[in-house]
Amino acid sequence: MDKFRERFYQLSDDLLNEVENSFKLWRYKKNTLVNKGSIADRLFFINEGFALLKIDFKGKQWVRHIAQPGEFITSFASFENGICSEETILAVGEFEIYYIERNDLQKLRNKFPEVDKIYTSGITSALIACQHRIEDLLCLDAEQYYEKLLNEKNAIMNNLPQYELASYLGIQPQSLSRIRGGTRRISSHM
């Protein structure tokens, strides 16, 4: 629970132990965490690996968000409101996550203001990340966005299949191949 303990570092040891005991460990290879149309009743904490939040649009699935170690993920609208999820969340490759059921989290939040503060901070961080992503999609072309991700999120770029990266960038896999080829040529001339 290294990343988990890092995330909750500000809690007292007793409270950290209580929070830890409320989460369950899940180790798998690629697996679906939330299915579209189901109610997301778990909040996931990524300790190792990556999770993709995908949406359906015009008959295709697009990666809207990539959660990496140290981050929480769920279908937040479904989790908070008890409605069917519009999203699918997949864990990619080998992963280790911790999860907590909605009711158990609510009990912790009600009992301990510190836990509620951390949850609210996590939601705020997710919102800010979404705002940055929207800005990048609007202001950067695919090559610029790819370069930015290479510089800022290299682990993601090196550990996800090309078709998932292309989907995240909003382009076809063939376009990503061309961008990668051009980047290598540009890098080799410097």
- The neighbouring-strand residues paired with 65 are 53
pLDDT tens string 134-164 = 999 999 999 999 999 989 988 888 888 889 9
User: CA-CA distance, 179 to 2, in Å (whole number)?
Assistant: 36
**pTM here?**
0.87
CATH superfamily of 2-107: Jelly Rolls (2.60.120.10)
Cβ atoms within 10 Å of 68's Cβ, excluding its own: 16
Cβ atoms within 10 Å of 145's Cβ, excluding its own: 19
Give me the pLDDT at residue 2, please: 76
User: CA-CA distance, 134 to 119, in Å (whole number)?
Assistant: 23
User: CA-CA distance, 54 to 32, in Å (whole number)?
Assistant: 11
User: CA-CA distance, 38 to 126, in Å (whole number)?
Assistant: 21
Residue 167, pLDDT > 50, answer: yes
pLDDT tens string 30-58 = 789 999 999 999 999 999 999 999 999 88
